[in-house]
Amino acid sequence: MERKVRRRHVNDQNSDEIWLVAPSLISSLITSAYTCVLAGALLEEAERLLDRGIHPIKIADGFDLACKKALQTLDSIADKFPVADRERLVETAQTSLGSKIVNRCIRQFAEIAVDAVLSVADLKTRDVNFELIKVEGKVGGHLEDTVLVKGIVIDKTMSHPQMPKELKDVKVAILTCPFEPPKPKTKHKLDITSSEDFKALRDYERETFETMIKQVGYVFFKLSKEFSAFSS
């Protein structure tokens, strides 16, 4: 199959580009070769129609009609099952992922894909907002380390090694401004000559941070209360 595709040539610029990438795909994904064969055949027929003087828009409209007919045929022969049947959804996802590079973890990735879509899908309108699903890659690790996070992933490094590595059932505030004690606008100089001075400075910073945190918490409480009243 690979030898035939390598020798294949279609006198069309777009077709040449398709066949140019085919050998690299066939080495791992034979399904992609069939896609290239189909695309090349369609381009050949389109070229013949162009030689007969048929307008390109007419040819494109014909391809659209053929696509609609093909979809209707697929709908007529397809097996239908309820969305609540998660196992059938996973099997369908496995079929789609069978020719991808993740096939050695196909079950895991199929379950992740199904759970991600079901988490954001609007079953009443049969619509899925894929903007709510994001794939984030990290350097290192293995495919088996892939997990589905139902929430927000904040890529933030630890500012101090003594900070806790894991927190549960917490509330996170995402601020777009610096969260630090206010600095005087004029030039200033602070001299620390003893451990007592350093302790006093540390206590002042801690007290200032605690005050700022309490203020943020109070604002959050007020907004939550107003939102609850508005929703009710």
pLDDT in tens, 217-232: 777 767 666 666 655 5
Residues 94 and 131 in one domain: yes
Average pLDDT over residues 84-113: 85
Domain boundary among 127, 145, 163: 145
In a domain? residue 192: no
| Distances in whole angstroms, Cα of residue 51 to Cα of each of 60, 61, 172 | 15, 17, 65
In a domain? residue 181: no
In this predicted structure, the answer to whether residue 114 has a pLDDT above a threshold of 90 is yes
In a domain? residue 15: no
In a domain? residue 158: no
Residues 90 and 141 in one domain: yes
Q: Which of 68-77, 86-95, 155-164 has the lowest mean pLDDT?
A: 155-164
Residues 97 and 136 in one domain: yes
Percent of the chain whose predicted confidence (pLDDT) is above 90: 16
In a domain? residue 32: yes
Q: According to the model, what pLDDT value does residue 30 have?
A: 54
Q: According to the model, what pLDDT value does residue 28 have?
A: 43
In this predicted structure, the answer to whether residue 140 has a pLDDT above a threshold of 90 is no
The residue segments making up the domain with residue 70 are 27-77
Higher pLDDT, 69 or 160: 69
In this predicted structure, the answer to whether residue 112 has a pLDDT above a threshold of 90 is yes
Q: For residue range 180-208, what is the model confidence (pLDDT) as tens digits?
A: 777 777 777 777 888 888 888 888 888 88
- 8 A C-beta contact, residue 83 and residue 117: no
Q: According to the model, what pLDDT value does residue 195 have?
A: 85
Percent of the chain whose predicted confidence (pLDDT) is above 70: 79
**What is the count of structural domains for the chain?**
2
In this predicted structure, the answer to whether residue 125 has a pLDDT above a threshold of 50 is yes
Q: How far is the C-alpha of 119 from the C-alpha of 108, rounded, in Å?
A: 17
In a domain? residue 155: no
In a domain? residue 194: no
Q: How far is the C-alpha of 125 from the C-alpha of 78, rounded, in Å?
A: 21
Higher pLDDT, 9 or 91: 91
Estimate to the nearest angstrom the gap between the alpha carbon of 78 and the chain centroid. 28
Residues 96 and 124 in one domain: yes
- The maximal CA–CA distance of the chain, rounded, in angstroms, is 95
In a domain? residue 111: yes
Q: For residue range 28-71, what is the model confidence (pLDDT) as tens digits?
A: 455 666 778 888 888 888 999 999 999 999 999 999 999 999 99
